[in-house]
Amino acid sequence: MNRIVPAPVDRETNDRLALAGAIAWPSFFAAGVATMVFFALIDPDELFNAAWPHILLPREFAYTLGFFVFWTATLGASSFTALLLRRPKDAQP
């Protein structure tokens, strides 16, 4: 019987994609939770009033900014973990 078999994807692309996903997704999730907890306890309006009263920032922007600040931090941590866990032979070309 003649079966149609899809062509394999090149391995390096696949590996890199999988690693990027493993770094991006948990850090995204952690940043989401951190953002929720942080802004549930702290009203950005009050925070900015107390800290930088001359800056006028709508809450939506503050939430968005807060999320990406958190994500930068968690993404950094995840990336470092990935880097440190890399086996020596993976680093070779």
Partner 1 sequence: MKPLPKLVLVDDSLYAAQAKIYPREIEGRFARLRTIAVFALLGVFYLFPWLRWDGRQAVLFDLPARKFYIFGLTFWPQDFFWLAWLLIIAGVSLFFVTALAGRLWCGYACPQTVWTEVFLWIERACEGRRNQRIKLDAAPWNTEKLLRKGAKQLLWIGFAAWTGFTFVGFFTPITDLARETVHFTLSGWETFWIVFYGFATYGNAGFLREQVCKYMCPYARFQSAMFDKDTLIVSYDVARGELRGARKRNADPKALGLGDCVDCDACVQVCPTGIDIRDGLQIECIACASCIDACDAVMDKMGYARGLVGYTTENLRAGKPLRLLRLRTLLYGGLLAFLLGTFVWGVAHRAPLIVEVLRDRNALYRRSADGAIENSYTVKLVNKTQAAQRVRLTVVDDPRVTIADRSDVALPPGEVTSVPLTLRAVSPDFSGMVRIKLAARDDASGVAATQTAQFFVPEKP
Q: At what angle do helices 11-41 and 59-85 cross, to 10 degrees?
A: 140
Residue type at 93 in one-letter notation = P
SS (H, E, C) 23-59: HHHHHHHHHHHHHHHHHHHCCHHHHHHHHCCCCCCCH
Q: Is 15 in the site for partner 1 (CB under 8 A)?
A: yes
Question: Considering the complex, what minimum distance in angstroms separates the CB of residue 3 from partner 1?
Answer: 7
Cα–Cα distance measured from residue 23 to residue 19, given in angstroms and rounded to the nearest whole number: 6
14 binds partner 1 (CB under 8 A): yes
Of the candidate residues 52, 61, 76, 80, the single one contacting partner 1 (CB under 8 A): 61
According to the binding rule CB under 8 A, does residue 34 interact with partner 1? no
* Closest separation in Å from C-beta 45 to partner 1: 9
Judged by the rule CB under 8 A, the positions of this chain that interact with partner 1 are 1, 3-11, 14-15, 17-19, 21-22, 24-26, 29, 37, 40-41, 43, 58-61, 63-64, 90
